[in-house]
């Protein structure tokens, strides 16, 4: 039976379901379900890309947005990362980190693109809802001297290649200059992927998402080549835009030799928390970190968050005069916070965290805490500041799973939506990562995980063999 094409908003709602399932990590009960859901997201995104709905989009300011099609394609490509990490969960200590980064990156791709953000809101949906509610931005990666040199070269080569592409956009694809640029981009792309993967450890955990073939660099490089081969100046412009943004992300996530970084005291947890709103902002930090599960890099900070939430809520009872049903619900939250702390602390991070029912228990308790707050009008009002900044942000609205044998969540059939027109008003957005009343920070969208193993790609032609040639001025 033919598969009905979902709208972008419906695909985003299914992705919300994946996000909700991944809170706490992968379990024996949800592993197969997750793989089916991620595969559906990938297939449906590819169908939308192939339909052309992302081509020639214009934002509300009347400006062309050729990068939207490249970003949409990258969402589909990054699903290979999720399939890989969910399938092999527990094989690497960085599996939770990798999953966390991919989920947040996809959300940020949509949230930072006006057209994609508007499409994700159509039909009353809240697709790809952002959950990047961190108290502080991630700590930059402290490069070795050799890594600093390599990353700066990557940034320089990106600038060189994109400058050449802008000059040659729309020129005869068979010209010697265009053919040379295509060869150089292919070499740059594959060498970048090989370098990042070979580094292993924390480097690969942080940078594969920018460098790998299914990461931003790989997708944008393939689209750049496709644009050059077809003489499509619009596609070239979109790929150039994404490649340049990616190089800026690399620059922002590296701490070069000789530079220093001073982290926020106590992980950004305020010294004094005495309101439900501020306690909720700290809880949101833990929720964001737990997408993908517990590992050595987040366990202690999550435990510190949960302890601070409990202390802050206790102070809020007196400070904000909480009584009645609201007090009963907070007392229930105290019990749940203790359970969640115990579960998070019980995981042995000295070895990779396996597929475990404990991950599902963390997921359930965390969801109960959010439900206890968000089902009480008094606590909802206290959690939201007067300027509509949110905390204790509810889980993204997802789809309702069915009992079909593939385990794919149900969505209403739909045809691809029309792109938002220039000057049209966007539907109201859900709570965004910025809504933290000054004590939160939007998470970097490039905070990746473990090295990627080769995965099947929906565009085999894009991943064809290229020469291993190295040349002096490009990545090698």
* 151-192 pLDDT, tens digit each: 999 999 999 999 999 999 989 999 999 999 999 999 999 999
pLDDT over 80 at 129, yes or no: yes
Number of neighbouring beta carbons within 10 Å of residue 465? 7
CA distance 57 to 133: 29
| Angle, CA of 229, 234 and 236, to the nearest 5° | 50
Distances (CA, A) of 26 to 99, 219, 256, 267, 357: 10, 27, 35, 26, 8
Q: What is the pLDDT of residues 191-243, one digit of tens each?
A: 999 999 998 877 787 788 899 999 999 999 999 999 999 999 999 999 999 99
* Averaged pLDDT of the chain: 84
For residue 470, what pLDDT band results from cuts at 50, 70 and 90?
very low
CB 285 within 8 A of CB 133: yes
pLDDT digits (tens, 9 = 90+) for 227-286: 999 999 999 999 999 999 999 999 888 776 667 777 788 999 999 999 999 999 999 999
Q: Can you give the pLDDT at residue 454?
A: 33
Q: What's the pLDDT at 398?
A: 85
Query: Average pLDDT in the 439-451 region?
Result: 37
Handedness of CA 343, 344, 346, 347 (dihedral sign): positive
* Cβ neighbour number for residue 200 with a 10 Å cutoff: 13
Predicted TM-score (pTM) of this structure: 0.85
Give the pLDDT of residue 211: 94
> Considering only CA atoms, which of 31, 47, 144, 136 is closest in space to residue 88?
31
pLDDT tens, position by position, 326-354: 999 999 999 999 999 999 999 999 888 89
Instruction: Using the predicted structure, report yes or no on whether residue 425 has a pLDDT greater than 80.
Output: no
């Amino acid at each position: 039976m033919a598969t009905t094409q979902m709208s972008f908003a419906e695909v985003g709602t299914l992705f919300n379901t994946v996000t909700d399932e991944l809170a706490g990590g992968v379990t024996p009960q949800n592993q197969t379900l997750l793989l089916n859901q991620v595969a559906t997201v990938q297939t449906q995104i590819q169908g939308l890309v192939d339909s052309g709905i992302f081509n020639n989009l214009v934002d509300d300011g009347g400006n062309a947005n050729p990068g939207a099609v490249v970003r949409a394609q990258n969402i589909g490509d990054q699903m290979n990362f999720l399939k890989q990490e969910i399938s092999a969960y527990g094989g690497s200590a960085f599996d939770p980190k990798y999953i966390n980064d991919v989920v947040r990156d996809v959300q940020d791709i949509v949230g930072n693109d006006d057209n994609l953000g508007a499409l994700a809101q159509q039909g009353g949906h809240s697709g790809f809802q952002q959950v990047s509610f961190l108290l502080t931005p991630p700590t930059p990666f402290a490069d070795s001297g050799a890594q600093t040199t390599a990353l700066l070269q990557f940034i320089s080569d990106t600038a060189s290649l994109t400058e050449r592409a802008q000059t040659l956009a729309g020129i005869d694809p068979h010209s010697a200059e265009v053919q040379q640029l295509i060869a150089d981009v292919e070499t740059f792309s594959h060498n970048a992927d090989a370098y990042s993967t070979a580094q292993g450890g924390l480097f690969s955990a942080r940078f594969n998402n920018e460098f790998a073939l299914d990461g931003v660099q790989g997708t944008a490089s393939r689209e750049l080549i496709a644009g050059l081969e077809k003489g499509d100046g619009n596609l070239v412009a979109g790929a150039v835009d994404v490649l340049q943004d990616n190089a800026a992300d690399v620059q922002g996530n590296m701490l070069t030799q000789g530079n220093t970084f001073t982290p926020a005291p106590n992980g950004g947890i305020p010294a004094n928390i005495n309101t439900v709103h501020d306690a909720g902002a700290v809880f949101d930090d833990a929720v964001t970190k737990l997408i993908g599960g517990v590992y050595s890099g987040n366990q202690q900070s999550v435990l510190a968050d949960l302890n601070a939430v409990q202390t802050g809520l206790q102070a809020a009872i007196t400070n904000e005069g909480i009584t009645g049903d609201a007090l009963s619900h907070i007392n229930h939250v105290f019990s749940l916070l203790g359970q969640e702390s115990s579960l998070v602390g019980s995981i042995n991070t000295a070895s990779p965290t396996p597929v475990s029912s404990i991950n599902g228990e963390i997921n359930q308790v965390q969801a109960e805490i959010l439900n206890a707050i968000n089902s009480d009008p008094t606590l909802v009002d206290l959690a939201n500041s007067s300027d509509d900044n949110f905390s204790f942000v509810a889980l993204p609205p997802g789809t309702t799973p069915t009992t079909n044998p593939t385990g794919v969540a149900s969505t209403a059939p739909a045809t691809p939506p029309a792109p938002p027109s220039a000057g049209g008003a966007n539907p109201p957005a859900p709570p965004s990562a910025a809504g933290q009343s000054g004590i939160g920070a939007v998470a970097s969208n490039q905070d990746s995980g473990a090295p990627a193993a080769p995965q099947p790609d929906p565009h085999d032609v894009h991943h064809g063999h290229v020469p291993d040639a190295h040349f002096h001025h490009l990545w090698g």
